[in-house]
Amino acid sequence: MKCPFCGYEESKVVDSRPTDEGERIRRRRECLQCGKRFTTYEMIESLPIIVIKKDGSRETFDREKLLNGLLRACEKRPVSFDALEHTVDEIETVLQNSLDREVSSEHIGELVMEKLKGLDEVTYVRFASVYRQFKDIETFMQELTKLLKKD
């Protein structure tokens, strides 16, 4: 594994432990040249998931893109980064476990909103307003009313 600090290609594993209910292995490594430590993750290689966008174009599922969208929705909210990573892991697991290799962006958006509802309601409303592209205050209020009725 190449050191991210000096580029040296040899390191030793200092610590290994499972994460994400055994879905990944976290390894702490130490560079044999500069001595700095860094973390790597090992996971089972899976088949790529293709996302079908609203315009019909296709792209490979990108967990970082999903995580960044959630980070934007959670700005200035008391939601931990770990909680967001766990949410992305859960969504990715649902997608990987489905038999479909192609999934619509709408389906992913619905999965995200389902998870956010239980995580933080303000974040849910922020994400929904962008995802559902509320055209006016009336559609925004309808979504808020639905949210309030479920409580």
Spans of all domains in the chain: 11-43, 50-150
Dihedral angle over CA of 138, 133, 74, 115, nearest 10? 90
- Specify the pLDDT at position 137: 74
- Specify the pLDDT at position 150: 67
C-alpha 54/C-alpha 79 separation (Å) is 29
Low pLDDT (below 70) residues in the chain: 20, 45, 135, 150-151
Quote the pTM value: 0.62
- Specify the pLDDT at position 9: 96
- Specify the pLDDT at position 13: 96
Whose tokens are 């290609």? That residue is 9
